[in-house]
Every structure is written in C-alpha cells, then in structure tokens.
Structure 1
Amino acid sequence: MSQPASQPSVRKRLLASIHDVGPGSERQVEQLYGLLEARLGGPRFAMLVVPDHWGQHPLRANPAFQARLRGWADAGIEMFVHGWFHRDSATHSSGTAQFKARHMTAGEGEFLGLDEATALQRMRDGKALIEDITGRETAGFIAPAWLYGEGARSALAKAGFALAEDHWKVWNAATGNTLAKGPVITWASRSPMRTASSLAFAALARQTLPLTRTVRIAVHPGDVTKESLLSSIDRTLRRFAASHTPSKYAEIQ
C-alpha cells in the first residue's frame, strides 16, 4: 500500500525589532544592536525609527545619526516608521481611548487620538524622511506603544506602507489582511511592578510559544537600564533563535 505524501513543514519565523530608534537613544540602540546581532547570527532584525522623539531629538538635524541609520539599513536592517514625536498630546474623549492612554503606555500613544488627516501627514512625512536618509523603502509603519485610533487606522490604508503591527498581529497596511498572529514579547523598565510582570510574561512565553508559527520580540532603549531585563532578553532570543528562523518582516508578506 502506498504511503500518503508527507505534508511540507511550516517554516517558523522569529521577527525581532529595536524600538524608539533616534539620536537620543543612540548608545542604547548600539548596545541592543550588539546583543541581537550576536544572538540572531547577524543583522536579522528591524529598527523602529522616531523622526523627532518627544520633540527633543530631531533626526533631520543630526547628520551623524543619519549616517548611522544609513549604515544600518545598508547592512540589511529593515526600517519602520514609528510615529513622528512618539508622545501622545491628544485629548481622548472616549472611555476606551482614555483607558489605553492611561494604563497601556506612559503618555506615548501618539497615534491613539489623532484624526485621519493629521495621522496621514505624520505617516507620510516620516516615510519620506527615513527613505530619503536611507535610500531605501521603509518596511512599514508601527504606531508608538502599538496603539492606533480610528484616524490612524484609516490613514494607514492611504499612506503607502506595506506592513503594520500591533500587540497581537502583523497585517498588510493597504488591505488589512492579517499576515501573522500572536502576542509580541516585550519588556518594561518604568516601574518595578511592570518590570516583574514583563519578566514573568517572557518566561511564560519561552515555555508556551515555541510551537507558534511566528514569534515577535521587541526591545526598547530603556531595557538596557536593568540587568534583569537584559538577561531575560538574552534568554528569550537564545530560546527562539533555536526553534525559529530569524527573518525579515517582508518575508511574511
């Protein structure tokens, strides 16, 4: 009796990223770059670039950091637009938005309360700036703190980005089609309680997510301030680099 044809194995991917990249975080980004490069076998991760973090670190006015960004892009790093200011200065009228702004981020959900026109302008300006600096098309747009209001979601379909991401999925920014599902593993440094919670989640993820087709890991400049976070990040990268192929976001399209 003939045996049934074997099914092709599903390739499991690891998508890693450094958030909040800009002139004000250069030292921390360099440290995280070294860690991710070592654990993933090369520059197989993305950077999320903030054009003017909190209005204090304008990328446009820093040629030296522009050169660093261009060098990283030339090495193969994918560049995402990560808001414009990162800071949330909107007044939120709905209870849901107020809750997210208060409990899911420390005043950094920039795109949670923007109207469509403002969100679209900032998206397009960020895309143009980063593409001009790197000479390459941006990989996509990821809102600060992964928080999108209705205006931002409407703007995404018009801004010309290939990809977008939130806490739970990656999707085609133009069509809305979901490309990958599952929680992103990230860490928090702004309070002892949040740090402890993020360490616990990362430990749980190392046990429960190995069978997941796509695993996402996101690190932030503030993570370098606590040795416990760096140790957890290292263990998590090692764990998933052993079971998932470090990949580019573009490969899941």
Structure 2
Amino acid sequence: MREAPADSRSLMLVLHDVAPETWPDYRPFVEAVDAMGDVPMTWLVVPDFHHRNALARSPDFCRLLDRRLARGDELALHGFYHADDGPAPRGPAEYFMRRIYTHEGEFYALEQREALQRLEAGLALFASQGWPVAGFVAPAWLMSEGTRQALRRLPLRYTSTPQHLYRLPDFTAIEAPGLVWSARSAWRRGMSRMLCDWQARRWRQAETLRLGLHPVDMRHASARNYWLRTLRELIEQGREPLTKSAWLERRTCP
C-alpha cells in the first residue's frame, strides 16, 4: 500500500443498516459525533429493513434523513430488505455463506433480473424522497455475478467491499481499507478490538481508512466507546472526515 502525504489522509465514517428500527441504537452515537464538530457520515439506508421497516411508512425518519443530508452527510443504498429470502442454498459452500456466515446476504445469490428489480426499487424510493444517491453497498458486502451485471446498467458511481471501493460501471478497484467489529458476543468483541487495533497500526499511513459501524456495536459500551475513541484519534492524527462520494470526487482516477 502506497503511503499518502499526511495532509491528504482521510477517514470515512459509515453507518450500516440504517432504518427506523435501528435509529434508537445509533442516536446517542450520532449525537456524540455531532458534538465533535464537522464530521460528515455516510448512512447506508435499507428501504425496508427485514420486511418490517418500510421507509415509505416512516415519514418522521425520512425527515431525519433529510436533515442529515442538509448537514452534509451522504445516503447510500444498502440492499432493499437486508434479509436473504432467496431459494434454499445449493451446496455446502453456499450453505456456509448464507446460513452460518450470515443470514443477511440479500444479494449473494440473486440472478441479474431479480437484483436489477430490487436495485431499481431502491433507487425509485430514493428518488421519491428527493435523495441523491451515488453508491450501493450490498448487505454483508456479498454480491452475486448477477448483481454485478445489474450494477453496470444503473446510474450509480460506486460500490464497495471490506477493503475496496469500486468505481462503476467498470468496477475499477480503489484500495480503501476498513475497520469493522463483530459485536454479537463478548469474545467476538474482544477479538474485534485486538484485530482493529492491529489493522489501524498497519494502515496508519494509508490514504484513507473506513470505519464500518453496525447497530449491534451501539448496544455495547465497549464497542461504542471504541469507535468514538478511534474517530477522535484519527482526526487528531490529521485525517479529514469525508463521505464516500466526497472522497471519490477528490481522488483522481488511477
């Protein structure tokens, strides 16, 4: 990984699984970040989280997202249901990915037609709210080849995986390493802290660093405090907080 000049280094604070149901988890954290000053965030918005959080039926939450846009935050499309409701897994490898690794890999096994329908439905929802959208992030970062083909047909500028952003429609890979916790149990939180501390040291000179937060992180003081402390430290080290779109706009094509 090439070293970036200190005055060009950045960070991206990314909130995953944004929905009316998860806002109570995020609210204290977002308020704490707002108190730090100008720290723009990228909100990964799910149009109908787990089939029970339709944004079209949540006008108050939509107005909240309007206000976040007005502050300079970014909204990106994050699946449609964030739930894997496709046909039963075929074979042990697919079973592992869809039933053990995660139950939320909505776009892992979709054919192009179904992926395109869900993506277009999500973009239509954003358009109905007047929300600009440049990016799509698949739940659990899992995308089928059909999803990749569908993304090539849409007016989106980027997608991402844990270590890269990809310019669309040609999927040009740009290194953008990310920190993420698995906070579902005490031992996972302990391992996540050690791994993320090691990764942060390893990527200290990286051009950018993404902090990928999830609602479950916010339910545990150790994880929530880790993210606040890490955010402060990265800013003190001279990293500029940017949304994903803002970072891509500043970065010249490789």
TM-score, length basis structure 2 = 0.88
- After superposition, residues 229-244 of structure 1 pair within 5 angstroms as 229-243=223-237, 244=239
Identify the residue that residue 99 of structure 1 maps to in structure 2.
96
Deviations 1:185-220 (A, max 9, x none): 112222223222211112212322211111000111
Identify the residue that residue 172 of structure 1 maps to in structure 2.
167
One-letter code aligned to 2:213: V
C-alpha distance in 1, partners of 2:91/2:206?
35
One-letter code aligned to 1:173: L
Identify the residue that residue 79 of structure 1 maps to in structure 2.
75
One-letter code aligned to 2:90: S
C-alpha contact (below 8 Å) 2:39/2:241 kept by paired residues: no
Identify the residue that residue 17 of structure 1 maps to in structure 2.
14
CA-based RMSD: 1.8
Deviations 1:28-74 (A, max 9, x none): 222231233344x3241100000111001111111111111111112
- After superposition, residues 78-227 of structure 1 pair within 5 angstroms as 78-90=74-86, 91-105=88-102, 107-133=103-129, 135-182=130-177, 184-227=178-221
SS in 1 for 2:21: helix
Shift of 1:172: 0.8
Identify the residue that residue 252 of structure 2 maps to in structure 1.
none
Identify the residue that residue 3 of structure 1 maps to in structure 2.
none
Identify the residue that residue 53 of structure 1 maps to in structure 2.
49
Shift of 1:103: 4.1
Shift of 1:94: 5.0
Question: Residues 21 and 186 (structure 1 numbering): CA distance in 2 closer, same or farther, change over 3 Å?
Answer: same
Shift of 1:131: 3.1
C-alpha distance in 2, partners of 1:37/1:180?
28
Identify the residue that residue 59 of structure 2 maps to in structure 1.
63
SS in 1 for 2:226: helix
Structure 1 unaligned blocks of 5 or more: 1-7
Identify the residue that residue 5 of structure 1 maps to in structure 2.
none
SS in 2 for 1:54: helix
Deviations 1:112-136 (A, max 9, x none): 1111111111111111212321x23
Identical columns (%): 28
- 2:34 maps to 1:37: yes
Paired positions, count: 242
C-alpha contact (below 8 Å) 1:139/1:249 kept by paired residues: no
One-letter code aligned to 2:84: D
SS in 2 for 1:164: strand
